[in-house]
Amino acid sequence: MSLPASLKSRLRLPLIAAPMFLVSGPALVKAACRAGVIGSFPTANCRTIEELDRWLADIKDGTDRASAPFCPNLIVHRSNPRVPDDLAAVLRAKAEIVITSVGSPEPVMKPLKDAGCLVLADVASVRHAEKAVAAGVDGLVLLTAGAGGQTGWVNPFAFVRAVRKFWDGMVVMAGGMSDGHAVRAAEVLGCDLAYMGTKFIATRESLAKDEYKQMLVGSRLDDVLLTRAFTGLETNMLRPSIAAAGLDPANLPVRGAIDIAKDINAAERDRPDAKRWKDIWSAGHSVSGVTDVPSVAELVERTAQEYEAASTAARSSPA
């Protein structure tokens, strides 16, 4: 199944404002949806289920049927004790689309599908993609080497074409979406949607610190470091933020396997020693495209103009 027509008609762009840990909140999600792109956020950004219910109610109150849909992101790793409660909150809010990450979507598939929800699964390899397809997902989010935060390792061109050999459902490209030209290129390659994360961090509505946003404006691709030091998984982080925290980017420790309770649980931000996400910041390969801190509406409008220019150029090029 490709992108449903009823959903496509509500989109200004085939784009998802990616779910970003400690960055995506109700203001960003609402602004994205109203601007015509899918707004998403990790449910782990909420400290409690009560807060998650409030966020979901706020997002629903701030959008309407003409808006693009909002899309909660469930972290389904087996070490996350909040999965059942977060799932119940998402179902109460009648979300139209859900993204599953950091584990198999199988445990949450039946209740989501019974509720008529489209399920997209983050995958970082062909093997992961095959398992998600077997679990019954509607779409695959291909986590490629250019993604910020916990990233993939595969070249996006090779990944999309390898997946399209066995999958005709929805495909979303995540990683390296620096402008509307990249979004259009992903579409030509065979994707239905693209993720854009880093540029949405540097918007006025994001929850990121002002220092983080300004660091993105001042950084370039060479400032992105791939490391396992902070989560145990390959992660794209900003070198300047690592140095500002008093660490040497060229001499970082190696951490162990991922632990949701320590590495992803939003409660960590309340601890005074929890600096790896508060003061050491991630960015994707698209950081070179961040030149200022616009509103979400302004960013979407620019991206739409770039996308339309790329589409026009493709149509006018000789065969």
Q: Which residues of 125-153 are buried (b: 16+ CB within 10 A; e: fewer)?
A: ebebbebbbebebbbbbbbbbbbbbbbbe
CA-based nearest residue to 119, from 137, 105, 140: 137
pLDDT at 315: 77
**Residue 69 in 3-state DSSP?**
coil
pLDDT at 149: 85
Q: Where do the structural domains in the chain lie, given as residue ranges?
A: 5-206+290-314, 210-286
pLDDT at 230: 78
Q: Do residues 75 and 43 touch, judged by C-beta distance below 8 A?
A: yes
> Counting Cβ atoms within 10 Å, is residue 158 exposed (0-12), middle (13-18) or buried (19+)?
exposed
pLDDT at 294: 98
> Is domain 5-206+290-314 annotated with CATH 3.90.1010.10?
no
pLDDT at 255: 65
> Counting Cβ atoms within 10 Å, is residue 256 exposed (0-12), middle (13-18) or buried (19+)?
exposed
Bridge partners (DSSP) listed for residue 194: 15, 173
Q: How far apart are CA 304 and CA 288, in angstroms?
A: 19
pTM to 2 decimals? 0.91
CA-based nearest residue to 13, from 222, 309, 287, 293: 309
DSSP letter at 308 equals: H
pLDDT at 277: 56
Strand locations in the chain, DSSP E? 15-17, 38-42, 70-75, 97-101, 118-123, 139-143, 149-150, 170-174, 193-196, 224-227, 235-238
pLDDT at 119: 97
pLDDT at 258: 42
- For residue 291, the one-letter residue type is T
Nearest 5°: the CA angle 40, 245, 259 is 50
Please give the radius of gyration of the chain, using alpha carbons only, rounded to the nearest integer.
18
Per-10-residue mean pLDDT, the chain, length 319: 83 96 96 98 95 98 95 92 96 97 93 97 96 97 92 94 97 96 96 97 97 97 90 87 87 60 44 57 95 98 97 76
| CA distances, 123 to each of 143, 236, 270, 276, 307 (Å) | 6, 17, 30, 24, 26
pLDDT at 48: 95
Cβ count within 10 A of residue 70: 25
Phi-psi region of 269 (alpha: psi -120 to 50; beta: other; left: phi over 0): alpha
CA-based nearest residue to 86, from 138, 58, 45: 45
